[in-house]
Amino acid sequence: MRRMKWLVGAAAAVGLLATAAGPASADMHRGGILRLVSASAGGTLDPKINYTLQYWTMYQYTYDGLLTFKHAAGSDGFTIVPDLAEAMPESMNGGKTYVFKLRKGIKFSNGKELDVKDVVASFQRIFKVSSPTAGSFYNGIVGADACLKTPATCTLDGGVVADEANNTITINLVAPDSEFFDKISVPHAVVLPADTPDKDMGNTPIPGTGAYMFAAYDPNKQLKAVRNPYFKVWSNDAQPDGYPDEIHYDFGLAGEDQITAIENGQADWTLDQPPADRLAEMGSKYPSQVHINTLTAMWYAPMNVNIPPFNNLKARLAVNYAIDRNAMVKLFGGKVLAQPACQIIPPGFDGYKPYCPYTKHPGARWSAPDLAKAKRLVKESGTAGQKVTIIVQDLAADKAEGTYLQSVLKSIGYDASVKVLSQNIQFTYIQNTNNKVQISITQWYQDYPAPSDFLNVLFGCDSFHPGSDSSVNIPGFCDKTIDAAMKHAMITSLTDKAAAAKEWTAVDRAMTDQAPAAVLFTPKYIDFLSKRVGNYIFNAQYYWQQNLAWVQ
Partner 1 sequence: MSSSLPATTEVGEGLAAVPRPALGPWARAGRKLVADRTAMGALGLFILIVLACLAAPLYATYVAHTDPFTSNVEGSITVDGQDVDLIQPSTEGLGLGSVPLGPTWDYHAYFLGADAQGRDVAARLLYGGRNSLLIGGASTAICLFLAALTGLVSGFFGGVTDMLISRLLDVLWAFPIYLLAISLSIVLISHGFTIGPFEITSGSLWLPIWIIAIVYVPYVARPIRGQVLALKESEFVLAAKGLGVPDWRILLRDILPNVMTTIIVFVPLMVAINMLTESALSFLSIGVQAPDASWGTIIQDGQDLIYTRPWVAIAPGIAIVLTVLALNILGDGLRDALDPRAKLRIR
Which residues of this protein are in contact with partner 1, per CB under 8 A?
A: 255-256, 275-285, 287, 290, 292, 324, 326-327, 330-331, 333-337, 394, 396, 399-400, 403-404, 406-408, 410-411, 417-420, 526
For residue 308, whether the previous peptide bond is cis, meaning omega lies within 30 degrees of 0, is no
Residue 230, amino acid: Y
Q: Which is nearer to partner 1, 259 or 458 (CB)?
A: 259
Q: Which is nearer to partner 1, 218 or 277 (CB)?
A: 277
State the DSSP string of 68-126. Answer: EE---SBGGGG-EEESSBSSPPPEEGGGTEEEEEBPSS-B-TTSPBP-HHHHHHHHHHH
Q: Which is nearer to partner 1, 134 or 526 (CB)?
A: 526
Q: How far is it, in rounded angstroms, from Cα 448 to Cα 542?
A: 9
Q: Which is nearer to partner 1, 400 or 540 (CB)?
A: 400
Q: How far is the CB of 551 from partner 1 (least distance, A)?
A: 24
Residue 188, amino acid: H
Q: Which is nearer to partner 1, 60 or 530 (CB)?
A: 530
Q: Which is nearer to partner 1, 160 or 405 (CB)?
A: 405
Q: How far is it, in rounded angstroms, from Cα 350 to Cα 334?
A: 27
Q: How far is the CB of 295 from partner 1 (least distance, A)?
A: 16
Radius of gyration of the chain (CA): 24
Cα-based distances in Å from 458 to 85, 321, 343: 30, 21, 13
Q: How far is the CB of 526 from partner 1 (least distance, A)?
A: 8
Q: Which is nearer to partner 1, 177 or 401 (CB)?
A: 401
Q: How far is the CB of 372 from partner 1 (least distance, A)?
A: 16
Least Cα distance to 353 among 361, 364, 367 occurs for 364
Q: How far is the CB of 333 from partner 1 (least distance, A)?
A: 5
Q: How far is the CB of 291 from partner 1 (least distance, A)?
A: 10
As a residue count, the chain comes to 552
Helices (H), 29-52: none
Residues 6+ apart with CB under 8 A from 298: 341, 344, 346, 443, 444, 454, 519, 520, 521, 522, 523
Angle between helices 497-514 and 480-495 in degrees, nearest 10: 160
CB-based burial, 159-191: b 16+ in 10 Å, e otherwise: bbbbeeeeebbbbbbeebbbbbbbbbbbbbbbb
Q: How far is the CB of 159 from partner 1 (least distance, A)?
A: 43
Q: Which is nearer to partner 1, 181 or 538 (CB)?
A: 538
Q: How far is the CB of 403 from partner 1 (least distance, A)?
A: 6
Least Cα distance to 324 among 378, 360, 375, 284 occurs for 360
